[in-house]
Amino acid sequence: EIVMTQSPATLSVSPGERATLACRASESVRTNLAWYQQKLGQAPRLLIYHATTRATGVPARFSASGSGTDFSLIISGLQSEDFAVYYCQQYNKWPPWTFGQGTRVEI
Amino acid sequence: DVQLVESGGGLVKPGGSLRLSCAASGFTFNNVRMSWVRQVPGKGLEWVGRIRSKTEGETTDYAPPVNDRFIISRDDSKNTLYLQMNGLKSEDTAVYYCARDYDYFDLWGRGTLVTVSS
């Protein structure tokens, strides 16, 4: 199965700053990659699919890039509601679809 | 509202069985694939399995840890997805989410907790 590795495990940032989260695949997933946000006690929420496309209702401060094995999620001007855990997921090769272990964005 | 609502979680002994349900509303359920994803409390996400739509043959696929123990089904007349879990193990303890599946998951339920313990 494809292993997804996220870094860093925890990212400490201040409100208003920019956060850059990384996700690396053990083999190419082309652009078949999604990003999710999960707040404490809540279900995951889709942010990005096809590596760069924002899901409906996702603010423009969330952007993403990458293809092949290396991907990034950028949150510009962090707001208080953005502090959460972020997961990447590949859907290029299955089964199974696989997720990264998550990056916690904290104040 | 477009939503998914899981139910059926609880405490079960190792080796036991449990059936989870996921009620869908606000969208055309019978046209979409559906998946189950689980999360050990405090840990990451793990895809469990999926079922395709009736027009795609309602075929299913499972992650290796649950293959031959879990069965996913759907009742489009009730807009409901099911997860039959048999031969439960302690490592199956998790919150189980149902999700609308476009290979990525664009709609999630709030989850139901399954605890496998003697």
User: Contact, A30 vs A92, CB < 8 A?
Assistant: yes
CA of A34: which chain B residue's CA is closest?
A: B104
E strand segments, A26-94: 33-38, 45-49, 53-54, 62-67, 70-75, 85-90
Is the predicted pLDDT of residue A95 greater than 80, yes or no? Answer: no
The Cα of B44 is separated from the nearest Cα of chain A by a number of Å equal to 5
Split at pLDDT 50, 70, 90, the class of B4 is very high
Torsion, CA A21, CA A87, CA A68, CA A4, rounded to 10: 110
Residues 6 or more apart whose CB falls under 8 angstroms from that of A54 comprise: A47, A48, A60, A62, A63
What single letter denotes the amino acid at residue B112? T
Cβ separation B106–A55 shorter than 8 A: yes
What would the pLDDT profile of A10-49 be if each residue is shown by its tens digit? 999 999 999 999 999 999 999 999 999 999 999 999 999 9
Token pair belonging to B44? 């990451």
